[in-house]
């Protein structure tokens, strides 16, 4: 596992946190590192990549919109040209979809949703299983290529201190065909980080009594730069869209801070958020199962507690 | 029109997970097995498309140990699948080996119009089988589909991505869709349909019939662990102002997340 390719992703013109986490895990490990970027922005991240010791960046600037066909061709070609025996990516809608397909094309090993990665004496990988009811070590075959996807927010971000020269290699492997075409992009309302990438989440359930009370959570979330999530019950009631659902048949999240407001903690919800580092539960029912998973619990009226919390944080941050 | 639905049998969310004494895997004794919840959206969509189409069929495909897997195939058939393919394999497989087995079984059946899978299975959260299968079958796919217009031979599929954004694709058949919540409301099987399902044909085969072996896996899971015991919850007392002050202090000084 000496030759590694990292899938680079951008946010506001610089490397996304998830990409930095992956590159940080390689700092000082003496690996040969390539990166691959689908879409524009290669020049804007070149310097950052050099600090992390990346020596070549495969790029196809024309791939501005995700299409499984063209993206599969691009990443398969970049991996082949780099000769990488390990491909690292941060797990999200795009990488999960395309890299599984790439794995089948290249006959490569594929593992998603890993939460531990280190390179001390070989590669060490672990991942949660059965909704984090247990975890397992991951063994990769040493021959051939392996593709490993890490959950966001699991690894520390280190500053790169290398001074390599990163060469941008333009590819044109990715082309679309008539079997699959992008027809439209419907932009979501939220400008915030997605739940799966958010480092802080404020989530609401039935205890909020009605849809408009989610505004109270939005206010709290704005103060601490968090993303708002929801329980299945309120999604099924139509209060908020499915994209906000945390738990089974929704999203699996693992932020540093998860604040559950008026959520009782059905097992399907716990399955999606129990990997969070610190869990705060605010609920009127002291017997709510959410308190079993929580680090800090407040038995109280959300309509009293949440505005006070927002005020106090606003005053002190 | 021939449609395939791929399903996986997974432990029920409510099931308590225990490990084998050597930590090589979970102990499957006493586990309650169910059809992966996302696969129910896949089954429902396939059956919904089939029903108005005279002569259309839906075949359910799955890999796993026959003794318990048959039950899940019957569940899919009670929801409207016409027949089944059971690939009998007791060992756990990585995603790619499983996708290869399903792809070979589907290819052996000849022409088809569409394949449906659930977006992910709740046991390992991999979400890999759908895209892998599409690649192996050399057909296009759209993943995480919450809305589908399936008239004619060019379908329009809405794919959910981050932040509630939706990418809308047009896909020419044959193609593959991975289904997520919102696509439909899976039906409950009626008693007559449960009875009828017991008589529907299941074709059985093994990995070696398909030229594969569980030794082909490129990824192996081992050294299973139960999570470390969680610190008991700290309940914050006093009136709401006191609770909030204490919480902010703890988040800042003890948990260090603010």
Provide the 10 A C-beta neighbour count for residue B208.
Answer: 10
A113 contacts A90 by C-beta, under 8 angstroms: no
pLDDT in tens, B43-84: 999 999 999 999 999 999 999 999 999 999 999 999 999 999
Q: Helix, strand, coil: what percent of chain A each, to 5?
A: 30, 30, 40
**Residues pairing with B209 in the sheet:** none
**Domains of chain A: which residue ranges?**
3-170, 200-316
Q: Is A268 left (phi over 0), alpha (psi -120 to 50) or beta?
A: alpha
> pLDDT by residue (tens digit) across A218-250?
999 999 999 999 999 999 999 999 999 999 989
Residues A45, A15 contacting (CB under 8 angstroms): yes
Q: Collapsing DSSP states into helix, strand and coil, what is residue A159?
A: coil
Which residues of chain A lie closer than 8 angstroms to B255, CB-CB?
A: 257, 277-278, 295-296
**Average pLDDT of B240-248?**
97
How close B151 gets to chain A, by Cα (Å)? Answer: 16
Report whether B2 contacts B46 (CB < 8 A).
Answer: no
What is the spatial distance between Cα B44 and Cα B184, in angstroms, rounded to a whole number? Answer: 7
Average pLDDT over residues B118-126: 96
* Cβ A199 vs Cβ A257: under 8 Å: yes
For the cut 90, the answer to whether the pLDDT of residue A317 exceeds it is no
B195 contacts: CB under 8 Å, gap ≥ 6: none
Q: Which of A18, A69, A96, A198 to mutate to test the interface with B (most CBs of B within 10 A)?
A: A96
According to DSSP, the residues that pair with A90 across neighbouring strands are A150
Which positions in chain A touch B160 (Cβ < 8 Å)?
A: 93, 242-243
Nearest one of B14, B213, B10 to B118, comparing CA atoms: B10
Determine the pLDDT at residue A236: 95
Task: Please write the tens of the pLDDT for every residue from B218-241.
Answer: 999 999 999 988 899 999 999 999
- The yes-or-no verdict on residue A68 having pLDDT over 80 is yes
Q: Residue B222: which H helix or E strand, with range?
A: strand B219-225
The pLDDT of residue A39 is 97
Given its phi and psi angles, is residue B190 left (phi above 0), alpha (psi -120 to 50 degrees) or beta?
beta
What local confidence, expressed as pLDDT, does residue B162 receive? 87
Q: What is the pLDDT of residues B167-186, one digit of tens each?
A: 999 999 999 999 999 999 99
pLDDT given at position A232 = 96
**What ipTM goes with this model?**
0.96
Mean pLDDT of chain B: 96
Yes or no: domain A200-316 corresponds to CATH 3.40.50.1220: yes
Q: Are A36 and A71 a contacting pair, CB within 8 Å?
A: no
| Predicted confidence band of residue A137 (pLDDT cuts 50, 70, 90) | very high
Q: How confident is the model at residue B23 (pLDDT cuts 50, 70, 90)?
A: very high
> Among candidates A115, A108, A104, A101, which has minimal Cα distance to A84?
A108
Nearest beta carbon to residue A104 from set B136, B180, B244: B136
pLDDT band at A166 (very low <50, low <70, confident <90, very high): very high
| Residue A300 touches partner B, C-beta closer than 8 Å | yes
Shortest Cα distance, chain B CAs vs residue A95, angstroms:
11
**A167 min Cα distance to partner chain B (Å):** 31
Q: Residue A1 above 80 pLDDT? A: no
- pLDDT, residue B29, reads 93
A109 at B interface, C-beta within 8 A: yes
Number of H helices and number of E strands within chain B?
6, 13
Q: CB distance B17–A93 less than 8 Å? A: no
- Write the pLDDT tens digit of every residue in A142-154: 889 999 999 999 9
pLDDT band at A191 (very low <50, low <70, confident <90, very high): confident
Return the higher-pLDDT residue of B163 and A173: A173
Residue B119, pLDDT score: 97
To the nearest whole number, what is the mean pLDDT of chain A? Answer: 95
Q: Is A3-170 CATH 3.40.50.620? A: yes
Please count the residue pairs, one from chain A and one from chain B, whose beta carbons lie less than 8 angstroms apart.
272
Q: Name the nearest CA neighbour of A21 among A143, A121, A160.
A: A160
DSSP A176: -
Would you place residue A304 in the very low, low, confident or very high pLDDT band (cuts 50, 70, 90)?
Answer: very high
Length in residues, chain B: 258
Helix locations, chain A, DSSP H? 17-25, 42-51, 68-82, 93-106, 214-224, 232-236, 267-273, 290-293, 302-316
Count of other CB atoms within 10 angstroms of residue A170: 11
Q: Which residue has the higher pLDDT, A197 or B187?
A: B187
DSSP labels, B106-161: HHTT---SEEEEES--TTT----HHHHHHHHHT--EEEEEEEEE--TTEEEEEEE-
Residue A183, SS3 per DSSP: strand
Cβ-proximal residues to A76 (8 Å cutoff; 6+ apart), any chain: A102, A105, A106, A173
Is residue A190 scored above 90 in pLDDT?
no
- Look at B134 and A299 and tell me if their CB atoms are within 8 Å: no
């Amino acid at each position: 596992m000496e030759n590694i390719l990292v899938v680079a992703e951008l946010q506001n013109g610089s490397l996304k946190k998830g990409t930095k986490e992956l590159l940080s895990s390689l700092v000082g490990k003496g690996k040969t590192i390539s990166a691959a970027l689908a879409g524009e922005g290669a020049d804007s991240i070149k310097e950052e990549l050099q600090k992390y010791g990346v020596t070549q960046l495969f790029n196809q600037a024309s791939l501005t919109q995700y299409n499984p066909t063209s993206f599969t061709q691009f990443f398969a070609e970049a991996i082949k040209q780099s000769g990488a025996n390990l491909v690292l990516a941060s797990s999200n809608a795009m990488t999960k979809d395309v890299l599984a397909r790439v794995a089948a094309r290249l006959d490569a090993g594929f593992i998603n949703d890993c939460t531990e990665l280190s390179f001390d004496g070989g590669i060490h990988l672990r991942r949660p299983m059965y909704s984090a009811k247990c975890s397992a070590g991951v063994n990769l075959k040493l021959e051939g290529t392996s593709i490993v996807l890490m959950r966001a927010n699991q690894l520390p971000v280190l500053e790169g201190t290398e001074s390599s020269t990163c060469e941008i290699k333009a590819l044109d492997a990715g082309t679309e065909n008539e079997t699959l075409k992008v027809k439209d992009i419907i932009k979501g309302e939220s400008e915030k980080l997605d739940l799966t990438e958010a480092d802080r989440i404020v989530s609401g359930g039935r205890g909020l009594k009605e849809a408009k009370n989610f505004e109270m959570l939005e206010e709290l979330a704005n103060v601490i730069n968090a993303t708002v999530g929801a329980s299945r019950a309120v999604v099924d009631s139509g209060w908020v869209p499915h994209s906000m659902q945390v738990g089974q048949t929704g999203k699996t999240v693992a932020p540093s801070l998860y604040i559950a407001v008026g959520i009782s903690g059905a097992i399907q919800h716990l399955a999606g958020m129990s990997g969070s580092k610190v869990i705060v539960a605010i609920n009127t029912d002291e017997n709510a199962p959410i308190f079993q998973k929580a680090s800090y619990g407040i038995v109280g009226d959300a309509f009293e507690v949440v505005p006070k919390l927002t005020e106090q944080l606003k005053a002190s941050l | 029109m021939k449609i395939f639905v791929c399903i996986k049998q997974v432990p029920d969310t409510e099931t308590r997970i225990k490990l084998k004494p050597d930590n090589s895997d979970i102990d499957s004794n006493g586990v309650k097995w169910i059809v992966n919840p996302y696969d129910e959206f896949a089954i429902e969509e396939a059956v919904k498309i089939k029903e108005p189409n005279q002569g259309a069929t839906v075949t359910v495909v799955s890999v796993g140990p026959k003794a318990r897997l048959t039950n899940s195939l019957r569940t899919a058939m009670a929801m409207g699948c016409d027949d089944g393919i059971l690939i009998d394999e007791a060992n756990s497989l990585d995603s790619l080996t499983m996708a290869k087995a399903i792809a070979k079984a589907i290819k052996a059946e000849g022409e088809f119009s569409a394949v449906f899978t659930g977006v992910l299975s709740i046991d390992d959260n991999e979400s890999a089988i759908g895209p892998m299968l599409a690649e192996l079958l050399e057909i296009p796919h759209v993943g995480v589909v919450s809305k589908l217009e399936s008239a004619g031979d060019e379908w329009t599929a809405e794919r959910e991505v981050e932040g509630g954004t939706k990418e809308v694709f047009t896909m020419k058949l044959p193609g593959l869709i991975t289904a997520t919540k919102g696509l439909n409301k899976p039906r409950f099987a009626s008693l007559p349909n449960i009875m009828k399902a017991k008589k529907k044909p299941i074709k059985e085969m093994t990995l070696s019939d398909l030229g594969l072996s569980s030794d082909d896996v490129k990824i192996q899971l081992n050294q299973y662990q139960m999570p470390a015991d969680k610190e008991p919850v700290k309940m914050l007392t006093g009136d709401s102002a006191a609770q909030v002050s204490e919480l902010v202090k703890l988040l800042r000084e003890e948990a260090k997340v603010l």
